Amino acid sequence: MSAGYNHVDLQEVKAKGIKIGNTPVVLNNAVADKAVLLALGAAQRVTEGRWHIERGTWNSFFDAQWMLGQDISGSTVGIIGFGGIGQAIARRLKAFDICKLLYTGHKEKPEAQQLGATFVDQDTLVKNSDFIFLAAPLSEETREMCNEDFFCKMKKTGVLINISRGQLVDQPALIKALKNGEIFAAGLDVTTPEPLNTDSELLKLPNVFLTPHLGSATKKTRNAMAELAAKNILLGLADQPLLSPVIFESTMARFKVLITNPTLPEIAHNLLKEKCDVIISPGFDKASIISVISGVDALLWSGGVPLDKQVLDAAGPRVKVIGLMSSGYNHVDLQEVKAKGIKIGNTPVVHNNAVADKALLLALGAAQRVTEGRWHIERGTWNSFFDTQWMLGQDISGSTVGIIGFGGIGHAIARRLKAFDISKLLYTGHKEKPEAQQLGATFVDQDTLVKNSDFIFLAAPLSEETREMCNEDFFCKMKKTGVLINISRGQVVDQPALIKALKNGEIFAAGLDVMTPEPLNTDSELLNLPNVFLSPHLGSATKKTLNAMAELAAKNILLGLADQPLLCPVIL
């Protein structure tokens, strides 16, 4: 009941003339899904984010540089071991707009060309990859191949993902590399030993994203593995060839612009300083902002502080334009902005990929019970070797997925889902979208979507119409195996109703990047639920995305000051 067979004495099996079969192929999709989950979770600092939520040290509204992760879009990805699982990972990566895909192994694979993968030696792969996936089987050749020398060659921003076997990695060397910042992070479904010791240093590192060897732990996959194993036995007993035998082998200077957040990327500062006098708020709070706001011509607004009448009155009548460092604007008094004749721009589109990546991370993490798995690792209650039904998650492949809100982020989520072999894609909103047909999405009313979807992604903006639309009635209509993912705004969900539904088993799980309040109270019931996968509102928190948002916000301001149309205006 496994693809690997490093736990089997093959020489003894061969010597005794025993046929042996394994269960490859049928687990490729589930393990590849796990690999993508681990890559996203490690790159987006899920473990560290959870700790901040638990400790009440959530800081995303005040420090724009806080908890920035690594982008998978635009990256170079290396896969060591390009068999069935490696190729399934590669197929999924096509949806993430990666720049380059490298692979290595004993020989070139003819199917690699179709996947856009380039064969290189291992040294070249390690030195050039931003993400390295270990998908090679354990052998004497691969045992502890990821050693000190391996980690020294990796980029300091590199992320290692292991869904193969723990023994491929020299674990003390990995721990040292993670502690010393030689690499950025690691996502591990396999470790040494297994179960992992509860005092392991891996559990103390913020840049390690762990799951307890559950790569194939979905109902569909385990059923397929059990069926294949049973058929191998029946064929062997009938002296027939096994289905999957193990082969035995040897001039705007007069304008003043206030940047409300001193941690914004330099690109915004530099763009504005070319033509404006730039003032930087001494603090993140409202009082600090108001203390330096008088007489400015423009605001670059970042953070969770409400942009209300008090702030605008304090700024005075010279304000011509506001550049928001966000896509949403529910924290802005738009009526007051309109009344004062101020232009306002936001930063959509540029963060679509990062937020969509986060949405997929949350879906995979919630469906595959990451929070509960981490607790089992920490408590020493790891049981995957003894109970094949333990900790089974939900399959995204073959599922019906619903997206509420089919704008830019909804589209980006849909594009990624194409790589996960889903059965049906539904969406709802104010009207049908012509581009939905190309993505294979069907427009339905919300009631139909909620009742029929296995996964529901919330990607609609917050409005009076969407506020607390996910209420008790909503959760009653969802499938008991349903997974809710929210990357919109916390207020779209009636949080007490969600907690009740999760506690009572009315739905299977939830993945939340947004919640109420933010930062979340450290005594929130959400933190006590095993079927909630949380991150502290970091949907757009990657360096590339933050830089793009800062650049767009600054350009909106410069255009507004020049009485030109904004690149991304908020329609008042």
Contacts of 460 (CB under 8 A, 6+ apart): 404, 405, 429, 466, 488, 492
Closest CA to 476 of 508, 507, 453: 507
Categorise residue 559: left if φ over 0, alpha if ψ from -120 to 50, beta otherwise.
alpha
Contact 529, 496 (CB under 8 A): no
Q: Which DSSP state fits 570?
A: P
Contacts of 529 (CB under 8 A, 6+ apart): 371, 499, 502, 503
User: Of 52, 213, 269, 537, which is the active-site residue?
Assistant: 537
Q: How far is CA 358 from the centre of its chain?
A: 3
Torsion of CA 36, 38, 40, 45, to 10 degrees: 180
- Distances in Å between the alpha carbon of 464 and those of 47, 251, 527? 34, 42, 28
Question: Exposed e or buried b for every residue in 49-72, given b needs 16+ CB within 10 A?
Answer: bbebbeeeebebbbbbebbbbbbb
Contact 257, 300 (CB under 8 A): yes
Handedness of CA 368, 86, 178, 197 (dihedral sign): positive
The residues that bridge with 118 in the sheet, in sequence order, are 102
Closest CA to 304 of 545, 61, 3: 61
> Is 537 among the catalytic positions?
yes
Q: How many beta carbons lie within 10 A of that of residue 120, not counting itself?
A: 16
SS3 of residue 224 by DSSP: helix
Q: Which DSSP state fits 106?
A: S
Contact 446, 472 (CB under 8 A): no
Q: Which DSSP state fits 410?
A: H
SS3 of residue 441 by DSSP: strand
Closest CA to 388 of 560, 254, 236, 214: 214
The residues that are catalytic are 537
